[in-house]
Structure 1
Amino acid sequence: MITTAPDPQRVREASLEELHRLRLPLPPPDFPLVWEPGDQLRLRPGPEIEARAAILNVVLARAYGLPPELGVQWLSEARLVSRLTPPEWQFVAESTGDQHAFARHVEALFALSWLLGIAMDLDPLRPADAEGLSERLPDLRQGESFEAWRRRTLVALRSASAAAQQLDLYYCLGWSLGECERRQLPPPVEANVAVQRRWALEWAVVFAGPYHGAAPGWEQVDLST
């Protein structure tokens, strides 16, 4: 459902309050907003987010030793092969790619799980393995199918507005952690947490307005700013 985005200035104020709670440096007053007043937004459909979460679950399982034939078989039976990006397919099927880089996707998967309502809190200090998250994802080693997982999972999709607020927080958090590195300050949050969770949120929250283009694919998400 398309709706009007919340007031970006008020959202930014809340983000800055959260950074203050974390005792992090605050972005400058001219730090760009993620969206402008009057922009429209929507969240990608639930089934699309479920599919992306299921794919990342397989990618992570491969990073931690799941045999490639099991990963490929599961994805084929779930009819998700066509939704993998080329790097994901090469890693899952051929073990080609940076294993450690793919393992870092656990934080992106955590953010997607929050969007689906199967992770309760996206607090930056809350670890991705909180609340037994792995038990709420498809059990690949026990052969749980994609459809069986969807049947047992009580998805309660977050609102687009709530997701946008989290996106602004993680956008600001990335700047703060970069500033900590520049000042050689000990950060309370690992940089990968901010990068990966923002990646998932940037992909899932779709804006429409004068300064927004088409919704990006997973590999096209821009995290350069």
Structure 2
Amino acid sequence: MKKNLLRNKKRGFSFAPERILKNSGVAGAHARLARGFTLVELLVAMGIFSVVILLGVGGFARALRTQRQVSAFSSANGNMSLVLEQIAREVRTGINFCANGTVCGSSSVLSFINAKGDTVTYCFDAEAVGRFIGNGSCGNSQKLTADSISVQYLTFIISGNQDDDGRPPLVTILTGANPRGVSGGSYTVRFETTVSSRVLDG
């Protein structure tokens, strides 16, 4: 056995572990791993990672902003719809629209006598829709729209309100509003509805 080992050693064969690792390339791989990454490799990796993070954060921020805008406009639409419905319900049983003692004087003011016999007035004041009864004023009216909504305009168009004309009064309401404090809030949501009184004048 010893003679065989000596013979192999003379021929250049060796069973030493370090020689086996060196011949198989494993030692070289370990050496490369121990050496680590170069500065250029680290900079490239960090740059790619930063770009991915920025794209992800930007998309998430845009999604949140869009969601807030949609929610704000939905709230404005719902609130204005309720205000218009309240006006329409009272108009349906009203009489003497801007006539017979009720003076409107402006297209942004609607005054009439409701079913209870009270003189009720709807008006546009300070970016809001207001309502008051009797001899009040728009400045002291009850505000109907929410504080989060800015009403841009309110117009009433009245027809058929003359005595003995044989036609029921028609009131067309035009208005527009947008949410406050929201980017993109300059876009105005517009509404239009026409209501007919069930009571004939005269």
TM-score calculated relative to the size of structure 1: 0.22
Q: Which has the higher contact order (CA 8 A, sep 6+)?
A: 1
Q: Which has the larger radius of gyration?
A: 2
TM-score calculated relative to the size of structure 2: 0.23
Structure in which a larger fraction of residues adopt helix: 1
Structure in which a larger fraction of residues adopt strand: 2
